[in-house]
Chains A and B, each alone.
Chain A
Amino acid sequence: MSYFIGVDIGSVATKVVLIKNESNLQYVVGKISPTGTNGNSVAQELIHDLLKEQNLEIKKIENILATGYGRISVSFTKFTKTEISCHAKGARFIFPNTKTIIDIGGQDSKAIKLGSNGNVLDFVMNDKCAAGTGRFLEVMSHALQVNLSEFGNYHIESKKDIEISNICTVFAESEVISLLSEGVDKKDIIKGINYSVAKRALTLLKRVNVEEEVTMTGGVAKNRGVVFALEDLLKLKINIPKTPEFIGALGAALFAAELKEERNGRDS
């Protein structure tokens, strides 16, 4: 049996995924922790904990591949890929018919277009600001004093449409505070915030020409409100993995497994 690890060091969280090859590739487990100031050591700790939990020694791991913003400075592997390729790989593994991916992470978002064999045909990333990303939602969560995990439920309960007109995170926060002081229901504001994020995502998706099936990855996909809003705007159903925040790391692990295949191909 072969084991491979994928590491995704994002701006907000670091994710590690273990996969194994037992006649076919299978997801084993994933671990996540805040990236903090040293993504490299956080990743190493996560790998250590994960191996301990699985009762595995590091020498059992055939390859490790890193992705995410922190991929450049890792000390435990020389293999890296961008999160664009890794999200494509991971999403396609979970949903093989995926043609378009929207990934919304902590500080960036990207739309990725795949070819019929899963190769990346095109991608676009968000502009030079945090609008429409996880950080935007975090700031709004703080302003509203509502936990992010509640955003989905609040969204569903809302009966009124509120438009958050500001794209800038700082100005949008002022707008939200202003709406609160006017007595607008938090549920409606949250729905407006979710739609604001979804509209930014839609702009990116349009630039790569949306084609079904669409899969959403990244931590923001756990916010059902954003998913509902985006489905409403796109007028189609979106695939959501059970653990969307791990898809980049999963893709990295799958690339790590391909490295072994390439090596074996060369050896034979």
Chain B
Amino acid sequence: MNFDISKVKPVYLKKIFSKKYLYPLIYQVLLQILRPDEIGKVSIKFSLDLIKKNFSKNSKVIMVNVFTPTEIFFALNTFPILPEVASAVSANFSISDSALFESDDILFSKDSCSVHRNLIGLIKMGFLPTPNYVFTTDKPCHSAVHSFYLISKFYGGEYFIIDIPEEETEENLIYLSKKLEDTFIFLSKELKIKNPYKNLLNAINLSNETRKYMIEINELRKKKVLIDGRKFLGYLGMTFSAFGSTYGRDFFRLLRDNLKKLYEEGFELPVKRKLYWLHLGPYFKTDFFDYLYKKDAYIVFEETSNVYWEEFDLKDPFKSVAKKLINYKIFSNLEERYKTTIKAINDYKVDGVIIFNQWGCRQGAGSSYLLRKKLIDYGIPCIIIDGDLVDESNFPKEQNRTRVEGFLEVIE
């Protein structure tokens, strides 16, 4: 069945989404069309519940950027929308072309990040609901501060920046944890949440469980190439949006179970070259990854799957979350990315590194060439693929094919 969602006007989607009684039916239809496994079912349920909660009448819509801790918001019985994730999903549904066009009169510079231009277009077109509150961290992504401000300015929603200090000092930890707690208290009052702290502990517990499953998955992946890393690039909805929820826990638990079963059955992908992938990947439909498979090259680990943070302390959750935010090691500064990459190279016996260079991603693209040089000096082949996460027109297909095939010849 070919269903082109890009042809559906958002107003109709809104009408459908506002009718709660339709959800069980939509869920069943999706199960019939997509025939997902148990892991996929969690994803579908998560997406539908997110839509249901945010498109319902009188619901409070909270938008947060991908680096804002979602645990706080799940604890407040809200379902935070991550517009960057929506931006990637829209590319997969071929909506980003129109959304990017629509954003041109607001964010006219093509040099700004296409993910953020796209999300502005999506909200303008009505694919995203009008927010009541907009939260963003100021690190490591530099674009969200601006794009989320524009969302608030043009479409509504009270705007908050979570300012993350550079270094982990006691003073900085206190500052950030206080800021997080203030945000939590403010929202719990606004949303009239009873027993918010009890909910918070539940969300923190769920987050810790999810983390534990991710670690177990990573350990299994060290032993054998059980899964194509491209799938993990596609799990960004769960990686960024679902921490602190049962969806996140269930998704990664089922994934762990699945990989464990594959491992015990002796399964392994026919891998000849093992690759480590930095940054995210293209979310529009592309045969780019097929170039890898044809040469039996697989992504064995990816930057977004690194679990670099400690288990959250239930006695001091805000401080724990603050510690995670300050010590962000992915998409981060050059030294941290280098150290994380070297660890992954050794842990996963990587033959080559691919750095995906998202056009407009200031904190990532700026240091890519330096990172590449350091990795080559270390002795690992490394290539930069200049591309785009959501804008297909900014992805030179043939040139990238030659680059990646040439790279595979280098590490042959």
Which A residues fall within an 8 A CB radius of B?
A: 69, 72, 81-85, 108, 119-123, 125, 127-128, 207
Contacts and interface: CB of A to CB of B under 8 A. Distances in A.
Nearest to A208: B376
B402 A125 contact: yes
A84 B398 contact: no
Contacts of B399: 108, 125, 128
A123 B386 contact: no
A82 B406 CA distance: 6
Interface string B384-412: 00100000001010110111011001100
Contact of B406 (A72, A85, A128, A207): A85
B402 A84 contact: yes
A125 B398 contact: no
A77 B251 CA distance: 46
B409 A120 contact: yes
B237 interface: no
Contacts of B396: 128
With a 10 A CB-CB cut-off, give which of A83, A85, A128 has the most chain B CB atoms: A128
Contacts of B406: 82-85, 120, 123
B410 A69 contact: no
A82 B405 contact: yes
Interface residues of B, number: 16
Contacts of A72: 401
Nearest to B359: A128
A147 to B, nearest CB: 29
9 contacts: A72-B401, A82-B405, A83-B402, A84-B410, A85-B409, A108-B399, A123-B406, A128-B396, A207-B369
Contact of B410 (A121, A128, A207): A121
Contacts of A81: 409
B281 interface: no
B168 to A, nearest CB: 34
- Of all A-B residue pairs in the complex, the 4 with the closest CB atoms, nearest first, are A84-B406, A82-B406, A85-B409, A82-B405
Nearest to A126: B399
A243 B82 CA distance: 56
B381 interface: yes
A78 to B, nearest CB: 12
A137 to B, nearest CB: 19
B386 A128 contact: yes
B386 A84 contact: no
A210 B406 CA distance: 19
Contacts of A120: 406, 409-410
Contacts of A119: 410
Contacts of A125: 399, 402-403
A211 to B, nearest CB: 14
Contact of B376 (A83, A122, A128): A122
Given A82-B402, A125-B403, A207-B373, 16 more contacts: A69-B398, A69-B402, A82-B405, A82-B409, A83-B402, A83-B406, A84-B402, A85-B406, A85-B409, A120-B406, A120-B409, A121-B410, A122-B410, A123-B406, A123-B410, A128-B399
B210 to A, nearest CB: 38
A139 B369 CA distance: 30
Contacts of A83: 402, 406
A121 B398 CA distance: 22
A207 B373 CA distance: 8
A235 to B, nearest CB: 22
Nearest to A82: B406
A81 B381 CA distance: 18
A67 B410 CA distance: 15
A127 B384 CA distance: 11
A138 to B, nearest CB: 19
A123 B411 CA distance: 12
Contacts of B373: 207
Contacts of B405: 82
A84 B405 CA distance: 9
A119 B411 CA distance: 10
A268 to B, nearest CB: 23
Contacts of A108: 399, 402
A152 B136 CA distance: 56
A52 to B, nearest CB: 32
B399 to A, nearest CB: 7
Contacts of B386: 127-128
B369 A84 contact: no
A121 B405 CA distance: 14
Contacts of B409: 81-82, 84-85, 120
Contacts of B403: 125
Nearest to A68: B402
A113 B343 CA distance: 26
Nearest to A123: B406
A11 B406 CA distance: 17
Q: Which of A81, A83, A122, A207 has the most CB of B within 10 A?
A: A122
Contacts of A121: 381, 410
Contacts of A85: 406, 409
A218 B402 CA distance: 16
B397 to A, nearest CB: 11
A72 B406 CA distance: 13
A103 B381 CA distance: 20
A120 to B, nearest CB: 5
Contacts of A127: 386
A72 B376 CA distance: 29
Nearest to B369: A207
A184 B317 CA distance: 71
A127 B385 CA distance: 10
B402 A122 contact: no
B249 to A, nearest CB: 41
A12 to B, nearest CB: 14
Given A82-B405, A84-B409, A128-B386, A122 B381 contact: yes
